[in-house]
């Protein structure tokens, strides 16, 4: 690996071990086995490197969850059963990726004071919404309409974020996959 790849691996390691706000330039450089100056040379700033590493880690998480969903979901099952199995896989992933989720919350807080970070996180969020919508609809991201991204992707992302926060704060009392789906069905019955 080159310095750039080493920095990415080191930053992902630091995000998982220390979170966003407690990770320093020195931590990343030490984990990567490179000089501090390499961060500026390859990424421009700590925030840019952490965002790139965070995006990579979230992409990896997304692929992992998609694989788990494919394993968990019976393709011959009803759409309802498939959606429930998908939520079980999603919720199971929260515990395994807790440090990464905490880092994401910290990054959102930091973005309030860093306009460039906010802009980059907003772009990553839009990309995540596309991936979420494509996964739910079972289609390639390139075939999604903007409306699908904004309606399905945005709502699913909001739901996922809220459920994830509940699992981070109080896993014993956070909703199960079945409760999430039953709650959605009850909400839909109010507007249909």
SS3 20: coil
Q: What is the torsion angle, in degrees rounded to the nearest 10, for the CA atoms of residue 10, residue 13, residue 17 and residue 23? A: 30
Tell me if 25 is assigned to some domain.
no
Tell me if 129 is assigned to some domain.
yes
Question: Alpha-carbon torsion 163, 168, 170, 172, what sign?
Answer: positive
Instruction: Write out pLDDT tens, residues 72-93.
Output: 778 898 888 888 988 998 898 8
- Counting residues of the chain whose pLDDT is more than 70, the rounded percentage is 100
67 phi/psi in degrees, rounded to 5 = -65, -45
Burial of 5 (0-12, 13-18, 19+ CB in 10 A): exposed
The mean pLDDT of the chain is 90
Tell me if 100 is assigned to some domain.
yes
Task: Count Cα atoms within 13 angstroms, Cβ side, for 70.
Answer: 7
Tell me if 19 is assigned to some domain.
no
Tell me if 161 is assigned to some domain.
yes
More confidently predicted of 98 and 62: 98
C-beta atoms surrounding 171 within 10 Å: 12
CATH of the domain at 68: 1.10.357
Domain membership of residue 83 as a residue range: 51-191
Burial of 119 (0-12, 13-18, 19+ CB in 10 A): exposed
C-beta atoms surrounding 74 within 10 Å: 10
Tell me if 96 is assigned to some domain.
yes
Tell me if 94 is assigned to some domain.
yes
Tell me if 144 is assigned to some domain.
yes
Instruction: Write out pLDDT tens, residues 12-30.
Output: 999 989 988 899 999 999 9
Number of domains in the chain: 1
Q: Which residues contact 140 (CB under 8 A, 6 or more apart)?
A: 134
Residue 77 per-residue DSSP state: S
């Amino acid at each position: 690996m080159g310095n750039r790849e080493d920095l990415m691996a080191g930053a992902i390691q630091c995000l998982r071990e220390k979170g966003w706000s407690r990770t320093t330039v020195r931590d990343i450089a030490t984990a990567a086995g490179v000089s501090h100056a390499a961060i500026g040379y390859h990424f421009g700033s700590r925030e840019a490197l952490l965002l790139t590493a965070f995006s990579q880690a979230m992409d990896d998480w997304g692929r992992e969850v998609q694989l788990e969903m494919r394993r968990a979901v019976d393709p011959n099952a009803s759409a309802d059963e498939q959606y429930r199995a998908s939520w079980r896989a999603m919720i199971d992933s929260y515990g395994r990726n807790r440090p990464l989720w905490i880092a994401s919350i910290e990054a959102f807080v930091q973005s309030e004071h860093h306009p460039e970070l906010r802009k980059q996180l907003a772009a990553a969020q839009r990309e995540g919404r596309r991936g979420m919508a494509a996964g739910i609809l079972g289609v390639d991201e390139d075939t999604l309409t903007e409306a699908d991204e904004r309606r399905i992707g945005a709502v699913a992302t909001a739901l996922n974020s809220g459920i994830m926060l509940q699992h981070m704060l109080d896993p014993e009392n956070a909703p199960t996959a079945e409760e999430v789906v039953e709650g959605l069905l009850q909400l839909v019955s109010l507007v249909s």
